[in-house]
Homo-oligomer: A and B are copies of this chain.
Amino acid sequence: MATSPETSADGPPDKPDNSAVVNIGLMGFGVVGTGVAAHILGSNFSMADVTGRTVNLKKVLVRDASLTRDVELPAGVLTTNAEDILTDPDIHIVVEVMGGTDPAENYIKQALSSGKHIVTANKEVMAKLGPELMTLARQNNANLLFEASVGGGIPIVGCMMNELAANDIRSIRSIINGTTNYILTKMAHEGTAFKEALGEAQALGYAESDPTNDIEGIDASYKLTILASLAYRRSFQPSEVYCEGISKLEPQDFRYAEELGYAIKSLAIANLEEGAVQLRVYPALVPAEHMLAKVDGVYNAVEVDGSLCGPVLFHGMGAGRAPTTSAIIGDVVEAVRKMGSNSPLLEPHNGTELTVRPIGDLVSRYYVRLEVADHPGVLAQIAQILGDGQISIAAVLQRDTHPETESAEIVITTHPAREQSMQNALKAMTDLPQVKRVSNTLRIEE
């Protein structure tokens, strides 16, 4: 019987990958962990039906064994010692739902090194260390699965790794932070101010008491890093994602956008052009008739444009206990089905030399809202600055003159221009004595 150069078909003797019973070690027993445990233990779902094997929850790691939880575990399953899972040769799959990098990172490395398969929901670990961990997994003929790290119940990670694997990915355009999308939807539909919408999101549990990670785009940059690393098979870091938050948006931006035929959405975008990848998270104007403009509330959506499949859009619930459990159990099923095969998942580095293009090289259309002195000639000066920067104007709106402050609001949209030119022009506008404020600058995604 032929074998691959790397691994014998039998696998290491301490790794019974084709055994009839598959043992799970669960690390973390919070909202998601209890959901996963309940589903594996539950009577409605039979892992044996789906995979042909019995799946057994052997150990659950908790910080405090004395706490009561809403899921009852069989005797002897609970432990406070990670080694009970990591050094048990009979545990085949480790499900990590602790979050954070410490100690999760070390646990994942230790498990992979001993050939255990990992299913994780940990977006921070996967964003910062994904390709390194994927390499470690391949070296140990283990699978590393992380569907739950991006997009909740939307099966985007699995599809990037499996179903869409034949495609060169041209671009990913996504709405992958439900908190932000809830706030923007509220501002758009009800004219709510940012702070008020944020307060409501916090009251409903959609935003944390310190909402920085969500509203400043950090959470989305983690998720985009994960997707881009899969799409372009190069190790990206979250710090390579250009990031703008949503806190500068004001109700009138939504009114102007609507008048111009757009919605405002916080997009996470990765695209490949001429050997360079551009990674960015920012609120942008999206044509009202585009599907991404219809993604409302806490929903997420990801549009992947592949060389063969064309644009494929996924839309669904981006967070919550049940959708995350759906993703994790789906990964467990996949891990079980692939046990025994010595064909591990995606090679994380395909050897192509991709650079990350700086934001200054972006070519985009722009929306600019300015507060100016209500004097003749102001618009001419602004138009002159744009013209000098080779930026041509698409539309101008002038509204909301305030006699008491002698100021007016001007909104300008441009044709495609280079970001650096636009930033230079904005700087020059700010220096004009008649310009009181550049209130907002947004990019327009066609």
Contact = CB atoms under 8 A, between A and B. Distances in A.
Nearest to A345: B337
B1 A164 contact: no
Nearest to A166: B329
Contact of A340 (B310, B323, B342): B342
A226 to B, nearest CB: 16
A310 B337 contact: no
A52 B347 contact: yes
A163 interface: yes
How large, as a class, is the contact surface on chain A? Answer: 35 or more
Interface in A144-163: 147, 152-155, 158-159, 162-163
Contacts of A291: 291, 294, 315
Contact of A341 (B317, B325, B337, B350): B337
B16 A164 contact: no
A188 to B, nearest CB: 14
Contacts of A159: 155, 158-159, 163
Stoichiometry, copies per complex: 2
Interface stretch (A17-25, A259-267, A392-400, A433-441): A17-25
Interface in A343-385: 343-347, 350
B10 A343 contact: no
B19 A52 contact: no
Interface string A25-49: 0000000000000010000111001
Interface of A: 1-7, 9-11, 13, 16-21, 39, 44-46, 49-53, 138, 147, 152-155, 158-159, 162-168, 233, 289, 291, 294, 306-317, 322-323, 325-327, 329-330, 333-334, 336-347, 350
